[in-house]
Amino acid sequence: MKYCSFCRADIEWRIPDGDNRPRYVCSSCDSIFYDNPRIVAGTLPVYEGRILLCKRAISPRKGYWTLPAGFMENGESTEEAAIRETLEEASAPVELGALFSMITVPHISQVHIFFLAQMPREEFSAGEESLEVRLFSPEDIPWDELAFPTVGETLKLFLNQAAGPHVFDIRPDQAIHAGDD
């Protein structure tokens, strides 16, 4: 951000009066522009004991497997975002269940939220952001080909039958292995 969207003056990176951290602030009208974490919402879709995974057709991590998920849009709930992303990436209608995991990823300013979801029928296909979509038995999950640590940790918790919701952070300087004791 270079210019104020209100008065077009230059933007500065500084601590505004009465605040405790640097923000983008207009040098003229003092408008503050907050830069907050992005929410990624998705599902852990299950059909007859198998888990639906999508092989990514886009960066980052193109060609790796993930749960269907994506950035939440303005004006939608986390539940609506999870259902929409599952339809977009896997063309899979789901019956949304409870929140299963909420994982904060501070170093990339994201929060990943996954809901349990039941697939009422074996209906799915690759959407525009997926190269392939497949149901995996627990023993066939491609652990070395998972796109993101949040997906791996969510799958481990689910397979260890750990009741949710699970709330934790993943940071690059600490190893997190949810469900490992």
Question: pTM of the predicted model, to two decimals?
Answer: 0.87
Using the predicted structure, report yes or no on whether residue 1 has a pLDDT greater than 50.
yes
Query: Is 148 in the same domain as 65?
Result: yes
Question: How far apart, in whole angstroms, are the C-alpha atoms of residue 166 and residue 39?
Answer: 16
pLDDT, the chain, mean: 93
Determine the pLDDT at residue 162.
80
CA 78/CA 102 separation, integer angstroms: 11
CATH number at residue 27: 2.20.70.10
Q: Tell me, what CATH number does 71's domain have?
A: 3.90.79.10
Question: Is the same domain home to 136 and 99?
Answer: yes
Q: Are residues 49 and 2 in the same domain?
A: no
Domain presence at residue 14: yes
Cβ–Cβ under 8 Å, residues 151 and 45: no
181: pLDDT strictly greater than 60: no
User: Do both 7 and 53 map to the same domain?
Assistant: no
Domain extent for 5 = 1-35
How many domains are contained in the chain? Answer: 2
Q: Give the three-state DSSP class for 81.
A: helix
The pLDDT of residue 178? 42
Domain membership flag for residue 178: no
pLDDT digit string, tens, across residues 74-115: 999 999 999 999 999 999 999 999 999 999 999 999 999 999
Contacts of 59 (CB under 8 A, 6+ apart): none
